[in-house]
Amino acid sequence: MEKTFMPPFKTAEALLDHQLNGLQWTVAHAYSGSAFYRKQFEKAGVMPGDVKTLDDIARLPFTTGNDLKEGYPFPLLSVPEKDVVRIHASSGTTGKRKVLTYTQKDLDTWFDMFARCYEMAGVTPEDRVQIAVGYGVWTAGMGFQMGCERLGAMAVPVGPGNIDMQCRFLEDLGSTVFCCTASMALLMAEEVHKRGLKDKIKLKRIILGSERSSASMRAKIKDLLGLTDMFDITGMTELYGPGTGLDCPRHEGIHYWADKYILEILDPDTLEPVADGEVGEMVVTTLEKEASPLIRYRTRDLTRKIAKPCSCGSILPMHDRIMGRSDDMIVLRGVNIYPGQIDEVLSSISEAGSEYQVHLERKEDGKDYMVIKAEAKQGLDPSAAARSGIR
């Protein structure tokens, strides 16, 4: 049988059992290994022995990005420093970066998760994977590289930019998979088109990290490069790095690795779970992370869970695309509104461009009003714009 990086569980119940074991281990490990977590647990009045079911996660204290900055340089450290084999840091431009520590086991877990992403995207050891993301203290390059080698495919580590070398290697080495950001993918697609290389390259798949991309942009990239498929990979430095989820070839949502972390979707205001399928903040708890475990870490990213299972048959659950940051949430007449929802509405109006402003006002009647001013699409006939209410 082929080597697989998919979880060994056959049923949802087995997955939940595994989650409970992981949660109990993580809480006991963080309590005994980290003064920060011990203090947090004591403040919340909860002891490791109190976690008896998965629902008991609601009793655990939250961890925030601020906690990571305050604990600089080694926040959340829960193992002796001698067991740390690597650090990575977030690419923050202001103030202190978030530095995350890894044991060898943490790295192995991360690369297995990343290899699972490649496997789910249909990448095999026969493939040649050209990696056009940044290498260094941030997690992107290392994740794509080590995940590729773990799977057994051939890594071509070019790094970002360097369009001439990218094109040369696509042609000479016959790379079949390309990993980059959405804007880099568009740039490459246009470059390959301009240089007339489409029939000389063997590119089949693109794996996109970090940036959001529109449907029209994706269609253009796919067409110009003659791809069979494109995938979105998720992840953040705090949670190992990229590689913690991917949309499968059915593209019905993003499968996330529920055997490695628990995902809660909470109302950012009340910190209570949202109703099934509603948008809320992603809050993650790791199940086997040793050096910097996360307990109810508030990611500030917004999405919703997708309730129905994927038609691909995987037992790994799914969430929707990231719809913005919880810091950008507006409460209008008691309803939580997120920028991603406005994007979604505007993208369904063919005359609307992608830039818009939101004007909020409380009028004399005491009610809140929201006006959205959207840019008209480039080249739009002004009379058509007027008809659709866009100025």
Note the residues at the interface with Zn ion (CB under 5 A). Answer: 248, 250, 310, 312, 314
Q: What is the nearest approach in angstroms of Zn ion to the Cβ of residue 12? A: 15
Q: Judging by DSSP bridges, how do beta strands 99-102 and 86-89 pair with one another?
A: antiparallel
Q: Tokens 């340089």 label which residue?
A: 73
Q: How far is the CB of 366 from Zn ion (least distance, A)?
A: 48
Determine the longest span between alpha carbons in the chain, in angstroms.
71
Is 182 exposed, middle or buried, given 0-12, 13-18 or 19+ CB atoms closer than 10 A?
Answer: buried
What is the smallest separation between the CB atom of 208 and Zn ion, expressed in angstroms?
17
CB closer to Zn ion, 225 vs 318: 318
Q: How far is the CB of 248 from Zn ion (least distance, A)?
A: 3
Q: Return the number of the residue (254 or 284) whose C-beta is nearest Zn ion.
A: 254
Least distance CB 251 / Zn ion (angstroms): 8
Residue from 192, 223, 225, 229 nearest 207 by CA: 229
What angle separates helix 35-44 from helix 12-33, to the nearest 10 degrees?
A: 110
Query: Closer CB to Zn ion, residue 20 or residue 312?
Result: 312
> Whole-angstrom Cα distance, residue 64 to residue 300?
9
Q: Which two tokens stand for residue 332?
A: 């209008």
Least separation in angstroms between residue 276's CB and Zn ion is 19
Q: Which residues of 140-149 are buried (b: 16+ CB within 10 A; e: fewer)?
A: bbbbbbbbbe
Q: Residue for token digits 């001013």?
A: 373
- Please, are residues 386 and 380 in contact by the beta-carbon 8 Å criterion? no
Q: Between residues 313 and 334, which has the closer beta carbon with respect to Zn ion?
A: 313
The distance of closest approach from Cβ of residue 5 to Zn ion in the complex, given in angstroms and rounded to an integer, is 15
> Which tokens sit at 77?
């450290």
Residue 363 CB, nearest approach to Zn ion (Å): 47
Q: What's the Rg (C-alpha) of the chain?
A: 22
- Whether 351 contacts 377, CB under 8 Å: yes
Q: What angle do CA 203, 179, 304 make, to 5 degrees?
A: 120
Q: How far apart are CA 276 and CA 127, in angstroms?
A: 39
How far apart CA 384 and CA 391 sit, in angstroms, is: 10
Q: Between 24 and 314, whose beta carbon lies closer to Zn ion?
A: 314
Q: Do the Cβ atoms of 172 and 96 come closer than 8 Å?
A: no
Nearest to 101 by CA among 113, 85, 90, 80: 85
Least separation, in Å, of the C-beta of 372 and Zn ion?
A: 34
**Tokens encoding 213:** 């991309």
Closest by CA to 233, choosing from 225, 223, 241, is 241
CB of 205 to Zn ion, least distance (A): 16
Closer Cβ to Zn ion, 23 or 254, answer by number: 254
Distance spanning both ends of the chain, measured CA to CA: 60
